[in-house]
Structure 1
């Protein structure tokens, strides 16, 4: 079991949670439910891995956010049709 990077004491468990994300254009935030997350038994922190965060941010950047409801499930967000095949502005790839 992995140790919590926040408190460095608690053990992490895999859970799904609700996160709130600001759209890349800054016009509003959306609620994303059933998001893969980690939960610390000690400090009660709920957070997402770097991979999940990058996936959410990339998908929000590549879809038509006007078609996005105020609330969506994580899996539904990732299945939404992209306007571009990939993020051509991500030079870290």
Structure 2
């Protein structure tokens, strides 16, 4: 496919998420999430950066970073936190501290 106009590929969901309840569902309504193995493969074949969202939590970031993907995006992990600024800092610090594959 022609990817000249694409900045990045958004993949997910990693986990079920209330933010977008219809995201990641098959025709029968079952939630389909992406495994770390699938994300590793996607990163390997994608001609553009891959970022992952959908239920991503700080505890996921070390394993997510090992897949080689280029980043992550969140909504509820920050917006739903008691201290959104602290939650955002934790996510960024955890991502930066995790080794890449």
> Same fold judged by TM-score > 0.5?
no
TM-score, normalising length: structure 1: 0.31
More helix by share: 2
Higher relative contact order (CA 8 A, sep 6+): 2
TM-score, normalising length: structure 2: 0.29
